[in-house]
């Protein structure tokens, strides 16, 4: 008799993928080559793992839940599946090699921190297909002038081309979440406009400090020279201080980042 599967744990934000067709669509979107170093984030009970292993000779899976991490080797051959029992946020992508391919149904409670990890460790990422809560996916791909547009949009967009591929309903998971999920594809930008994104992150923190205030008001509060320095900086970047940050396109923030001290 097969043992009972470990239960979902709320503290890990677990909603296990159970829809085999959905798993097949995710793998098709990834379309992994046999020689790729593929790492699955949060394999859970192995629905996506199974679909991946039908295409790959070897797979690495990072699982924080010790019960699930112990169960996975019983379900899949140990010489083909390497299970890393750790928090995915704490595992450097580069530890798996210089160009890792990532895939996974991300727990909702780490979605934004993981997106920022993607930005920080972009040099080690070959590409990725990741599932997010639909609202987070909307923020990652938002257009300027919309309420979803913000620092996450700009930072992720400078490091990657992020595409929304398709949605999955709550019924594709157990337990059923209260939200719709969206599968996204991340492709590194061939020629990043900024080799270092830390100045851009600093600009965005200042510009979006108070979303309802103008760009000038937000920047003057972050600069030692106050309004005079903020006006000079905006003038050199070719930006109007009277607009709000959400109206500034990514290239405007890149121009500010190049001037930021």
Please give the model's pTM, rounded to 2 decimal places.
0.93
pLDDT at 112 over 70: yes
pLDDT of residue 142: 98
**Tens of pLDDT, residues 55-106:** 999 999 999 999 999 999 999 988 999 999 999 999 999 999 999 999 999 9
Say if CB 125 and CB 103 are below 8 A apart.
no
3-state secondary structure the chain: CCCCCCCCCHHHCCCEECCHHHHHHHHHHHCCCCCCEEEEECCCCCHHHHHHHCCCCCEEEECCCHHHHHHHHHHCCCCCEEEECCCHHHCCHHHHCCCEEEEEECCHHHHHHHHHHHHHCHHHEEEEEEEEEHHHHHHHCCCCCCCCCCHHHHHHHHHEEEEEEEEECHHHEECCCCCCEEEEEEEECCCCCCCCCHHHHHHHHHHCCCCCCEHHHHHHHHCCCHHHHHHHHHHHHCCCCCCEHHHCCHHHHHHHHHHCC
pLDDT at 8 over 60: no
pLDDT at 194 over 70: yes
**Tens of pLDDT, residues 197-211:** 999 999 999 999 999
Mean of all residue pLDDT scores within the chain? 94
Domains of the chain: 10-188 (3.40.50.150), 198-259 (1.10.8.100)
pLDDT of residue 13: 55
């Amino acid at each position: 008799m097969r043992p009972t599967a470990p239960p979902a744990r709320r503290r890990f934000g677990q909603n296990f993928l159970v829809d085999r067709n959905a798993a097949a669509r995710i793998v098709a979107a990834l379309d992994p080559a046999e020689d790729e170093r593929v790492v699955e984030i949060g394999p859970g009970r192995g629905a996506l793992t199974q679909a991946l292993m039908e295409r790959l000779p070897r797979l690495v899976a990072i699982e924080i839940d010790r019960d699930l991490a112990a169960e996975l080797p019983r379900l899949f051959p140990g010489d083909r599946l390497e299970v890393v029992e750790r928090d995915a946020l704490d595992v450097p992508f580069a530890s798996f090699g210089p160009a890792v391919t990532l895939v996974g149904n991300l727990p909702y409670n780490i979605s934004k921190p993981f997106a920022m990890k993607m930005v920080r460790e972009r040099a080690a990422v070959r590409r990725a297909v990741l599932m997010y809560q639909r609202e987070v996916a909307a923020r990652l791909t938002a257009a300027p002038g919309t309420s979803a547009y913000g620092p996450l949009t700009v930072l992720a967009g400078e490091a990657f081309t992020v595409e929304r591929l398709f949605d999955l309903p709550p019924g594709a998971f157990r337990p059923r979440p209260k939200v719709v999920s969206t599968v996204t594809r991340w492709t590194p930008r061939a020629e990043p406009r900024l080799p270092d994104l830390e100045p851009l992150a600093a600009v965005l923190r200042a510009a979006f400090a108070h979303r309802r205030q103008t760009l000038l008001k937000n920047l003057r509060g972050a600069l030692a020279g106050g309004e005079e320095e903020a006006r000079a900086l905006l003038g050199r970047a070719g930006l109007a201080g009277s607009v709000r940050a959400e109206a500034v396109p990514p290239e405007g923030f890149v121009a500010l980042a190049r001037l930021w001290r």
